[in-house]
Structure 1
């Protein structure tokens, strides 16, 4: 098959097309089936988690099929899970259909960071990359998973049913046609990011949407100036600010509040935005640790940039310089992988030990490419 294209945002914030490297190209199944690949971000053993549920619809909003994982099925750090979905919900059953709308929903409390989702059958293919969720406000982290052509590494976005530590999404949905890397479409997104992030049928992340939930569809279907290109009428794309979508629903827009199975309150723990305080990432790459530390939606692990010379304490979202060159306190020591503090500021000794002088059980090294 031809390259599976999507798009990411480069270091300058410019939207660029990205094809999956050959090792990650999805297999095209026989007719009346669609293959969906879930590609997990890479950086820690805790980036993986429980395999999410998947639902597919055609461009008219008719259900095609669903995937429900068996029990507590797992997908590991940096791994790829290929899921074949039978077109068992088409009319008539098992007929060919094009999966334009995709819902991925995490039923488990085991948070999972997804770098990419590919969708392919005998007629249509495309890719969603985590950069879209990152740019539109979803909880995210950097990834060392070189899944793109030319060794590009898309960010990963988190899905978690109980919103531990402020993870803001249980589910995400997208319109596959609008994830295509057509130049005119990418120019439109770059000039007006609302065309991507404030167009709920096009892309959205959801606080509570369950696997059997129903997402919004474009009705009437969108018209493009060229094949999958820029929109003919942007007013039909953008959400109506006077009638906003409810992103906290469990099943569908307009549901009765009593139907919600659990509280939508965000749970926070003392770890702040740190998914696993016992894990450290040391990056020799161009990873922007300053952005990670300062970004309101970043969530992951303590991380060092040897290029930028900084360490980010993700629990407190605070940057520290690396020790050396005359800096000996309030700095991070690469030799001992320890945050060094001043004794004079340790007013609460037990609290300071949690931040300064703590050790890590595991370390990931992101080496230069």
Structure 2
């Protein structure tokens, strides 16, 4: 089979309809079944957007088999950062299965946790042991309401596919951990047809399939399917297909799982939808971290100045940075019209729009038609109701003042 030809994941088009993605990072896939899991992280941001410190500090990575038994973990070394380049060879984490009596077991559940002070924005995660390979894309997180932003980076070899990236960050309101059921990320035809029957319910209201957490520590366990799900075979893709009992996977009620728990009493994956077993809510953000994770709880804004700064920034990660883009799929209206976007101000040449991310307000780019209450791309300022005078003086009436120290140009 041609490299990258297998369907390992799925994404969403502009109409939020699912489509399969035949992409893989071959150096991140072992050439045979091995007793470890290789996890490849693809980020959506550059060092220019992270204070020159790469993609942020490395996250914790935890793995479980289909029975909910832990296989292994990548534990973070102090002050080790993810490389800021787009060389995925440097983003492959090879995790040995040292926490299970049978190291040949295949990873079926993954949790990625960021409990350092640096934010990271994940665009894609490939998981493989040589026997089974899958790819999770950030589009799913955005679809289900996780904080997200546009990604400059496309899938290597697929320049038109730019997954959205989702934030793992320590500030209040941001997810610190995400978890998912790996084989449910396969984008095979019968699996996607099943999801499309009720996308939100299958993908966002079936928490073991995909969940996100404000405070779930790296030594905690997310919910698992018990008993393990059974699947049909997709004859067209010659891979795993849809579930045999699909509706058994739905959460019993909306918000069934408390996203603010710090850890869960779920040592063997005992969540059982059929018997109504509840996950115990053992810890909140205000409580002490679990003993195995001394950095699991980072303080929220430490003083009044920091709290005021966070409030002033609104949904803007850095008001002094501007992104100017020409790419399709990077329309400013996407981030402005979303209730979960978080990032930088965006000016889209293709769309002719500008988004002030502090308040998520959309403006036209100034041109021969729009001469006031618009964004002047050349001056990089908002033009108020008075427009620009004959002497070049820019009106600030009715618009916020903008001052950019840096600009990124996305193609």
State yes or no: 1:37 paired with 2:14. Answer: no
Q: Which moved more, 1:150-159 or 1:356-365?
A: 356-365
Q: TM-score, normalised by structure 2?
A: 0.80
Question: Does the 8 A contact of 1:55 with 1:102 survive in 2?
Answer: yes
Greater RCO, CA 8 A, separation 6+? 1
- How far off is 1:342 after superposition? 3.6
Alignment of 1:56-67 (within 5 A): 56-67=63-74
Counterpart CA distance in 2 for 1:330 and 1:243 is: 41
Partner of 2:30: 28
Find 2:194's aligned residue among 188, 191, 200: 188
Partner of 1:245: 257
State yes or no: 1:307 paired with 2:350. Answer: yes
Alignment of 1:102-181 (within 5 A): 102-147=110-155, 149-151=157-159, 152-163=161-172, 166-167=173-174, 169-181=175-187
Q: Partner of 2:61: helix, strand, or coil?
A: strand
- How far off is 1:77 after superposition? 4.5
Counterpart CA distance in 2 for 1:242 and 1:275 is: 30
Question: Does the 8 A contact of 2:206 with 2:251 survive in 1?
Answer: yes
Counterpart CA distance in 1 for 2:198 and 2:379 is: 46
Counterpart CA distance in 2 for 1:145 and 1:364 is: 13
State yes or no: 1:90 paired with 2:96. Answer: no
Counterpart CA distance in 2 for 1:254 and 1:90 is: 25
Alignment of 1:222-233 (within 5 A): 222-226=229-233, 228-233=240-245
User: Deviations for 1:86-121, whole angstroms, at most 9, x for unmatched residues?
Assistant: 1110115xx212011000011112111000111111
- How far off is 1:263 after superposition? 9.2
Q: Partner of 1:248: helix, strand, or coil?
A: coil
State yes or no: 1:200 paired with 2:207. Answer: yes
Counterpart CA distance in 1 for 2:242 and 2:31 is: 30
Counterpart CA distance in 1 for 2:113 and 2:409 is: 31
Counterpart CA distance in 2 for 1:146 and 1:243 is: 33
- Going from structure 1 to structure 2, the CA distance change for 1:189 and 1:235 (only over 3 Å counts) comes to closer
Find 2:327's aligned residue among 282, 285, 290: 285
- Going from structure 1 to structure 2, the CA distance change for 1:242 and 1:13 (only over 3 Å counts) comes to closer
Question: Does the 8 A contact of 1:43 with 1:143 survive in 2?
Answer: no
Q: Partner of 1:187: helix, strand, or coil?
A: helix
Counterpart CA distance in 2 for 1:143 and 1:242 is: 30
Counterpart CA distance in 2 for 1:142 and 1:274 is: 13
Q: Which moved more, 1:24-33 or 1:357-366?
A: 24-33
Q: Partner of 1:188: helix, strand, or coil?
A: helix
Could you tell me which runs of 5 or more consecutive residues in structure 2 were left unpaired when the two chains were aligned.
234-238, 265-278, 289-296, 302-306, 388-395
Partner of 1:349: none
Could you tell me which runs of 5 or more consecutive residues in structure 1 were left unpaired when the two chains were aligned.
345-351
- How far off is 1:233 after superposition? 1.4
Partner of 1:360: 404
Find 1:274's aligned residue among 316, 321, 329: 316
Counterpart CA distance in 1 for 2:48 and 2:28 is: 24
- Going from structure 1 to structure 2, the CA distance change for 1:76 and 1:321 (only over 3 Å counts) comes to farther
State yes or no: 1:254 paired with 2:291. Answer: no
- How far off is 1:355 after superposition? 6.2
- Cα RMSD (Å): 2.6
Counterpart CA distance in 2 for 1:317 and 1:365 is: 20
How many residues are treated as equivalent by the alignment?
354
Question: Does the 8 A contact of 1:115 with 1:154 survive in 2?
Answer: yes
Counterpart CA distance in 1 for 2:193 and 2:76 is: 38
